[in-house]
Structure 1
Amino acid sequence: MNGRTIGLLAAAILALLLTVVGFTIVTGSNQVGPGQPRSTGVATVGGPFTLTATDGKTVTEKDLLGKPSAIFFGFTFCPEVCPTTLFELTALAEQLGSDADKLNFVFISVDPERDGPEEMKQYISAFDNRIIGLTGTVEQIDAAAKAFKIYYAKVPLENGDYTMDHTASVLLMDGQGKFFGTMAYEEAADVMLAKLKRLVNEG
């Protein structure tokens, strides 16, 4: 066996070893050991909450089960994002027709200091009557926001007043309370309508 043949054989063996090692690394990374959670690819958004409706009744996550939900966190003193989003949901509900009755449209306040049940009732009266307004104590709102992975923060203003910074997306949940997707702020109307139709049909 000459030197050239030996060199080719060595290269082939090295390539085979690298292939085996690479396969082991790839397959090993997909293995789940004892006691380790297996990822399902679905974001862990949503969970238990206890809030108060505009009629004073207690509402929990269980009250939303059975129908898919479009959930938006905001506040009644919101200058732009909240009214725009709620008007968009109102228009989308009209376009859905009777299918809108198969969804929960939920508006949750992140400003419990100013948004009591009566304030929420008055505010949401300007929008589709299927939109449910929910509020609660600071602790209850904080728990709900954490469950749904929502960001919000109180922002002081120069005049001594304050506003609220918050996530602007609408969260879509299926009828079992599992995360289905989102609708972005000022997303194209036809895209949002398609998402809600899919939520109705598949959620």
Structure 2
Amino acid sequence: MNTTTRPVPPPDPPPRIPPGTAPPNRILYATMGIVLAVLLIGAGGFLWLSGGRGTNLGRIGGPFTLEDGNGKPITARDFHGNYMLIYFGYTFCPDVCPTTLNAVAAAMDKLGPAASHVRPLFITVDPRRDTPSVVKQYAAAFGPSITGLTGTPAEIAQVAKEYRVYYAEHRTGPGPEDYSMDHSSVLYLMGPDGNFIAPVRADQSGDEIAADLKKLMG
């Protein structure tokens, strides 16, 4: 019997990948990495906004020295024994700041007698324009419960660092006054001992903020 040996065809060459294109498995791994990073960031943001006690967020808050609307030095210790509800913004803010402060003022009305133990503070992130008289007039527009505070650029930078507040100047034109301020928007609830309790969402109504405060204050 004659046995004919047929040559084995060579294996197909690997698919050619155009220069500058990542192999499919690398694309998959990169995509998975991006998705994982987004999920981790989202989880961290949820923990931060949910205000869960015991989470390892690092220290938030600390001593500060600022000025009230009368130019009087104010320190964090002046509020010990009361809760502080702190919001960072600026008086030229077109929408978020006034909306939040209106809600805070409404929340104070909803708290009833408990409001006497809460000191809402508005701390400017625009000290160049927000002088003591400016923050005094601005805070008063929302009612007597809110205290406006300002300071030197160095003092504002220090308190913003203590509270992990983001703010940055955003130029809108060539003039010295042609700018707005980008800033984070969170309400910080500090306990009577001066320690951080939890963040309170700033995009809520007065009723919702009051409900959060009642729960957090026990």
Shorter chain as normaliser: what TM range? 0.7 to 0.9
TM-score between both structures, scaled by the size of structure 2: 0.70
2:112 is matched with which residue?
97
User: Quick check: 1:103–1:200 contact (8 Å CA) kept in 2?
Assistant: no
Which amino acid is the alignment partner of residue 87 of structure 1? Answer: N
Which amino acid is the alignment partner of residue 112 of structure 2? Answer: G
Does 2:165 correspond to 1:150? Answer: yes
How many angstroms does 1:62 deviate by?
0.7
User: Quick check: 2:60–2:164 contact (8 Å CA) kept in 1?
Assistant: yes
How many angstroms does 1:138 deviate by?
0.2
Which amino acid is the alignment partner of residue 84 of structure 2? Answer: S
1:13 is matched with which residue?
none
1:168 counterpart (157, 172, 185): 185
User: Quick check: 2:80–2:194 contact (8 Å CA) kept in 1?
Assistant: yes
1:60 is matched with which residue?
75
How many angstroms does 1:187 deviate by?
2.6
Using the TM superposition, name which of 167-176 and 190-199 deviates more: 190-199
2:200 is matched with which residue?
183
Does 2:155 correspond to 1:140? Answer: yes
Provide the C-alpha distance between the structure 2 equivalents of 1:112 and 1:101, rounded to a whole number of angstroms.
Answer: 28
How many angstroms does 1:139 deviate by?
0.2
How do 1:27-106 residues align onto structure 2 when only pairs under 5 Å count?
41=56, 43-106=58-121
2:126 is matched with which residue?
111
User: Quick check: 1:68–1:199 contact (8 Å CA) kept in 2?
Assistant: no
Which amino acid is the alignment partner of residue 53 of structure 1? Answer: D
Per-residue CA distance 1:23-45 (angstroms, 9 max, x = gap): xxxxxxxxxxxxxxxx8746410
Provide the C-alpha distance between the structure 2 equivalents of 1:172 and 1:126, rounded to a whole number of angstroms.
Answer: 22
Where do 5+ consecutive residues of structure 1 fail to align? 1-38
Per-residue CA distance 1:39-61 (angstroms, 9 max, x = gap): 87464100011100111110111
Which amino acid is the alignment partner of residue 103 of structure 1? Answer: V
TM-score between both structures, scaled by the size of structure 1: 0.75
Does 2:203 correspond to 1:193? Answer: no
Secondary structure at the counterpart of residue 54 of structure 1? coil
Counting aligned pairs with the same residue, the percent is 42
User: Quick check: 2:104–2:206 contact (8 Å CA) kept in 1?
Assistant: no
RMSD: 1.7
